[in-house]
Amino acid sequence: MAGRRGAWCAAVVGFGLLLPLAGCGGPAPADSTRIEVQRVLDRRAAALLGHDGTAYGATGARTEYTRLRALPLTSWTYRVTGVRRTSAGATADAELRYRVTGYDTAPVDTRRTLTLGRTADGKWYVGADRPARDAGQQLWDQGPVTTAKGVRSLVLGAGQPAAELRAFATLADRAVPAVTGAWGPHWSRRVVVLVPRTLAGMAALLGSPAAKYRGIAAVTTGEAGGAGKAPADRVVVNPEAYAGLGDVGKQVVLTHETTHVATRAHTTAATPLWLSEGYADWIGYLGTGRVPAEIAPELAHALRDGRAPGTLPPDKHFGFTSDPTELARAYEGGWLACRMIADRWGTARLDAFYRAVGAHAQRAGAVEQALRKVLGTTPAEFSASWRDYVRAQLG
């Protein structure tokens, strides 16, 4: 078909059309480099999935292979999005997509920057693979990944002893059925927990300053309003804050974060934080035997000082950089609101209320409509009932 290709190129020139002509003479140099780099990364990915250290080493540095050997992977692919030639070789921007076996229903998507060199015979190899600017680290960027597999959980650690990871798996395995018992079975019923070595490591995974999470024992990643088409949420632990908790506190935290995993598909921009965080705390504290004054000490203290809350806590009070006392009162107020719904309307109505709020198209009117349709009340009546409930439980 060479003759037909030549005729097409001649026709383009003859009509004077402003079309690219690179296809007539093969790829341009930049495109050629990009194609070659993509092939190297394809071989690298295949070697990782095939557990072939020799083939991986043939594509460049083995650091990631050594660190990733314990991670159970279903898929691992790179897509080169740009290449810049340098005096020493090249720098490539790439989209990395991977799936953890048994947990991710869709690939995790992250951006990477790769430094490449060339051998004496002109072959490209990877010298370094690091997070792109403004992209969070992945756990293997912090060292070799170790794993502890529970019945319903997968715990991944960096710089953590195996016994510590097994303890997390035990707590996560308890959390999953506890959440299912309250929320219902229509979620993955599995949880992935990431345990970095330090607070700084946690912040690096989340792509945010460490100061934002100081004193926060764990957070849950994930896209709100998902419908099974997003990667599994990761519960990311702050090992420094978590270590200061007692046995009950550690379980409450894991159950709270697992609740976020379970409710993610029904948690949307319409869901206020008093509801999403209060509901997670409500499930977290079920069966602990703790009384309200123990769970909500800051609100109890405010009541004793004559500073009873007038309204449900707004979203801004849940910011991790908020005043710690204000943050604690916000969580306690949300928990008491959800506990009140469960006490007065029943747990089935609480679950239905949560889903109804999240199903609303926007924040405006979401709570009001759900209060009316699910609980048969108004915002003013609900707020008044909550204030009375807070006084009754903590007074």
Read off the pLDDT of each residue in 156-174 and give the average, rounded to a whole number.
97
Greater confidence, 216 or 12? 216
User: Of the ranges 127-131, 139-143, 304-308, 336-340, which one carries the lowest mean pLDDT score?
Assistant: 304-308
Residue 158 contacts residue 143 (beta carbons within 8 Å) = yes
Read off the pLDDT of each residue in 362-385 and give the average, rounded to a whole number.
98
At 284, is the pLDDT very low, low, confident or very high (cuts 50, 70, 90)?
A: very high
Residue 146 contacts residue 71 (beta carbons within 8 Å) = no
Share above pLDDT 90 across residues of the chain, in percent, rounded to a whole number: 86
Q: Specify the amino acid at residue 187.
A: W
Radius of gyration of the chain (CA): 26
207 conformational bin, left if phi > 0, alpha if psi -120 to 50, beta if neither? left
Question: What does the pLDDT look like over 37-47, one tens digit per residue?
Answer: 999 999 999 99
Question: What does the pLDDT look like over 332-354, one tens digit per residue?
Answer: 999 999 999 999 999 999 999 99
Spell out the domain ranges in the chain: 23-135, 138-262, 268-395
Question: pTM of this prediction?
Answer: 0.89
What is the topology classification, in CATH, of domain 23-135? Nuclear Transport Factor 2; Chain: A, (3.10.450)
User: Of the ranges 6-15, 152-161, 164-173, 228-237, which one carries the lowest mean pLDDT score?
Assistant: 6-15
Read off the pLDDT of each residue in 366-383 and give the average, rounded to a whole number.
98
Strand-pair category, 153-158 with 145-149: antiparallel
| Assigned token pair, 197 | 């070595």
Inform me whether the pLDDT recorded for 231 exceeds 90.
no
Inform me whether the pLDDT recorded for 18 exceeds 70.
no
At 164, is the pLDDT very low, low, confident or very high (cuts 50, 70, 90)?
A: very high
pLDDT the model gives residue 151: 97
Inform me whether the pLDDT recorded for 228 exceeds 50.
no
Inform me whether the pLDDT recorded for 322 exceeds 50.
yes
Q: Give the contacts of 70 (CB within 8 A, at least 6 positions apart).
A: 144, 145, 146, 147
Distance (Å, whole) CA 244 – CA 296: 18
Q: Out of 1.10.260.40, 1.10.3720.10, 1.20.58.760, 3.40.30.160, select the CATH number for domain 138-262.
A: 3.40.30.160
Greater confidence, 2 or 136? 136
pLDDT the model gives residue 150: 97
Residue 62 contacts residue 78 (beta carbons within 8 Å) = no
Question: What does the pLDDT look like over 185-217, one tens digit per residue?
Answer: 999 999 999 999 999 999 999 999 999 999 999
pLDDT the model gives residue 251: 98
Inform me whether the pLDDT recorded for 98 exceeds 80.
yes
Inform me whether the pLDDT recorded for 280 exceeds 50.
yes
Burial of 80 by CB count in 10 Å (0-12 exposed, 13-18 middle, 19+ buried)? buried
Give φ, ψ of 269 to 5 degrees. -60, -20
Inform me whether the pLDDT recorded for 26 exceeds 70.
no
pLDDT the model gives residue 105: 87
